[in-house]
Structure 1
Amino acid sequence: MERAQEQLELARERNEFARIRTDLANKRTFLAWCRTGLAVMGVGVLLEKLRLGFGVAGEAAAGLGVMGVVSLLAGPACIGFAAWRYRVLNRRVGGSEDGLFFVPEMVVLASVLAFVFLGLS
């Protein structure tokens, strides 16, 4: 009987470690999506600066402008999707309820957006 109790305790411990690993993987994935969103926004800023800085005219300017705006909008969308995905998976696996985990990333996103849009206007 004692052996069965030990095996049950060991199984519970393994399950807890698996849950912790899954929670940490979810956080790493969220941060990877945030980096991707910031990189996409950086490409948008680069395209806008190229269009405005080099005085590109005609169809090339229109193309750069459209790609720049799409990139500037896709970056925050990517980060918003990452936050949504993190919350959904966190609830599904019973992860830690640290609702403030992604607040720093959202503050960075807001400040980057402010700098980008102030710099482009």
Structure 2
Amino acid sequence: MKDEVKEPVPLDTNSLAVMRTVLANERTFLAWCRTALGLLGFGFVLEKAGLYLRHLIPDIDPHLSKDLGVLSLFALLSGLLVLIGAAWRFFSIEKQIGSNLGRMTPVPEVLVLLAVALVLIVSVFSGNMLFN
């Protein structure tokens, strides 16, 4: 078989604009996912810091410990809400664009991030049960 040289397909400006918009939407979605993951990690660190403070310093002010727990729960829930909002925004803009380019959807990435969030939340609550 002879190697065939494929000639580039000429694209009009409209299809290029749609491609740019789709790629910008994808970049924005990934940026929001990074933000959500950062919030989830921050919530995890705060909760673990509160648990270690209670465990290592028994006479610590209970209000500080409780405040750290509330702040960590707020960060964890905020991360989950940002992730859900990012996915909703991504799909709504994708639908508005009407781009059925045969691309893969970000559903696997969203599921992985939700699984990570679930693991973080379970570890926080299991840490609470271990140290209390």
Q: What TM-score bracket applies, with the shorter chain setting the length?
A: 0.7 to 0.9
Do the aligned partners of residues 83 and 97 (structure 1) sit closer, same or farther apart at CA in structure 2, a change above 3 Å counting? farther
Alignment of 1:64-103 (within 5 A): 64-96=68-100, 100-103=104-107
Contact 2:40/2:79 (<8 A) preserved: yes
Give the TM-score normalised by the residue count of structure 1: 0.82
Q: Give how far 1:113 is off.
A: 2.3
- 1 CA distance for matches of 2:101 and 2:70? 40
Contact 2:53/2:65 (<8 A) preserved: no
Q: Give how far 1:111 is off.
A: 2.0
* Structure 2 residue matching 1:95: 3-state secondary structure: coil
Percent identical across equivalent pairs?
Answer: 37
After the TM superposition, which segments of 4 or more aligned residues of structure 1 sit over 2 Å from their partners?
Answer: 95-100
- 2 CA distance for matches of 1:58 and 1:73? 23
The aligned counterpart of 2:111 is 107
The aligned counterpart of 1:118 is 122
The one-letter amino acid paired with 2:19 is I
The aligned counterpart of 1:42 is 41
Give the TM-score normalised by the residue count of structure 2: 0.75
Contact 2:36/2:79 (<8 A) preserved: yes
Does 1:59 find its partner at 2:63?
yes
The one-letter amino acid paired with 1:46 is V
RMSD of aligned residue pairs (Cα, Å): 2.0
Do the aligned partners of residues 90 and 38 (structure 1) sit closer, same or farther apart at CA in structure 2, a change above 3 Å counting? same
The aligned counterpart of 1:15 is 14
The one-letter amino acid paired with 1:92 is Q
Q: Give how far 1:102 is off.
A: 1.5
* Structure 2 residue matching 1:101: 3-state secondary structure: coil
Deviations 1:9-64 (A, max 9, x none): x8x70011001000000011001101100100000001001100122532211211
Do the aligned partners of residues 75 and 99 (structure 1) sit closer, same or farther apart at CA in structure 2, a change above 3 Å counting? farther
